[in-house]
Structure 1
Amino acid sequence: MTEAGDRFRSGELTVIGRVNTASNVTLVCDVLDGEVQQPPLRVVYKPIRGEQPLWDFPDGTLAGREVASYLISEALGWGIIPETILRDGPFGLGMVQRWVDGVDNHTDRGDRLDLIDLCPAGTVPDGFREVLRALDQDGNEVSLIHADDPRLQRVAVLDILLNNADRKGGHALEGVDGQVYGVDHGICLHTEHKLRTVLWGWAGQPIDDGLIADITAFAKQLPGVFADALSEHITDAEIDALIDRTQDVLDNPVMPVPRTARPIPWPAF
């Protein structure tokens, strides 16, 4: 393991801030090296004791779901979710995830849109897909849009497998390294259908053959040793449901259409 990996797994977490918009306690931390002058390693830390109770997810399970989601992303070979582990911190056991340095498209010039954004209704730019129209806080009609970008579509396909109940606009990040990352996977992997996402722009369209090839390989390794690794974080019933969702995608390789009255998480960002 590299020195940075050692620090990530066992270095002392120093809290430098809190994400106040998050539903659960979400702390930004630096992992310092007390002996060698190294740049701090920045992480996100979500202690289990800071998780808010939910009516449909068992208490104290969100951190484990984040780790399981990371393991699934890695097993697929997609690298969508930053490295995520369970470890101790200043407020007890919790999820720790490597920080993503994101692109800031909202510069003074304001000449670029984020991967998921709003625009005036009826003015969807090239390279974007409209999800819905709504009224903003000033009563103006706007369109919720997302980029027609294969990096983002891969996130949308991962959400199908994870049964992600909370893919908000702020949970898909364009990194400065050119990758697109997904974060906040605490309410995933339920046995019942829970998919809520802002990434509905591809609904009804075929899933890319390359992604299906990756899912086919993933399906073959799901039982056995990999299932044992997941069982440390989610239940056997939830693993069985993951296996079923994976097979459903292979049997019908098409992006789904909304099946519930509330297919988009709120707030959307």
Structure 2
Amino acid sequence: MTQSSRDRSPAGDGRGVSPRDTEGAEALLARGRLAVEGRLVQASNATLYCAIELDGLSAACVYKPVAGERPLWDFPDGTLAEREVAAYEVSKAMGLDVVPPTVHRDGPYGPGMVQLWVEPDPDVDLVALSRSDDAAIRRMAVFDAVVNNADRKIGHLLPPGDGHVYGCDHGVCFSVEYKLRTVLWQWRGKKLTGEAVEALGRVEADLRSGPLRERLEALLTRDEVDATRRRVDLMLKHRIHPYPPEDWPAIPWPPM
């Protein structure tokens, strides 16, 4: 599923909020009035397009209720929303900001994940972008390795047109087993950038006993948090992008 849609635009008539304004966006998403406007029918899980408004601020967002999650054989039932929020917390703690502001809250169909809508630039060729050496895409590859993303498709890339790239659909991340499955393998085995090493260093201690660990343990199992820390430690030790797994499909299907 891709969050992108060519005929969607930020909802509401109030003042909008930028995904870069994480504090304002989180407050809007957590406390705003949520109104369902439609459903993204290509999604495998219930994914609702909504308008959200709070104190004159308004935006479009995606709401994925836990009740609409389809069971998966390799992830515990009813945990995808928490994994989406955990991915946002890691992205923010790393200083990469590759995941739009995301919260866990109650909604019209029960508790679930609510994420700020990011409208991608329709002039950006996503296939070419995914195969490029773009620095923003490389940041995404580093982030995916940390969260063990099992489903990084091309359509999950959201370039708003300002040089930054966001990603969506992180419900199948944080497995204890190595399940990295992505279309972004162009840096496999290559040396990490200084920026990537700094980002990994920001969360290394935090994943041991800091605030990030506390937030993640409220969303994931302790084993999953420990596995995330080990992935960070391994990347800091070897200073290279990981190689594809040998016993797991390396590219998601379909890749879009």
Task: Return the TM-score normalized by structure 1.
Answer: 0.81
Structure 1 partner of 2:194: 209
Cα gap change, 1:223 to 1:19, in 2 (>3 Å) = same
Q: Among 142, 165, 189, which residue is 2:150 paired with?
A: 165
How many angstroms apart in 2 are the aligned matches of 1:3 and 1:84? 12
Give the residue type in structure 2 aligned to 1:232: A
- Number of paired residues? 233
Matched residues in 2 for 1:188 and 1:194: separation?
Answer: 8
**Matching residue within 107, 119, 123 for 1:101:** 119
Contact 2:45 2:70 in 1 (8 A): yes
Unaligned runs of 5+ in 1: 106-111, 118-127, 129-144
Question: In structure 1, the residue corresponding to 2:131 is in which secondary structure?
Answer: strand
Shift of 1:202: 1.4
Larger strand percent: 1
Q: Calculate the aligned-residue CA RMSD, in Å.
A: 1.9
For 1:196 and 1:188, the matched residues in 2 are separated by: 10
Is 2:101 the partner of 1:75?
no
**Letter matched to residue 229 of structure 2:** I
CA contact (8 A) 1:12 1:89 kept: no
Q: Select 1:113's aligned residue among 125, 135, 141.
A: 125
Contact 2:29 2:102 in 1 (8 A): no
Residue correspondence of structure 1 range 189-208 to structure 2 within 5 A = 189-208=174-193
Aligned-partner Cα distance in 1 for 2:155–2:25: 27
Query: Structure 2: which 5+ residue stretches go unaligned?
Result: 1-21
Identity of aligned residues (%): 42
Q: Residue 32 of structure 1 aligns to a residue in which SS?
A: strand
Match of 2:204 in 1: 219
Cα distance, 1:32 vs structure 2: 3.5
**TM-score (normalised: structure 2):** 0.85
**Is the alpha carbon distance of 1:258 and 1:217 closer, same or farther for their aligned partners in structure 2, counting shifts above 3 Å?**
same
Distance 1:5-1:185 versus aligned 2 partners, 3 A rule: closer
Alpha-carbon separation, structure 2, partners of 1:212 and 1:3: 29
Structure 2 letter corresponding to 1:218: V
Give the number of the structure with larger relative contact order, counting CA–CA contacts within 8 Å between residues 6 or more apart. Answer: 2
Which segment is superposed worse, 2-11 or 88-97?
A: 2-11
Structure with bigger gyration radius: 1
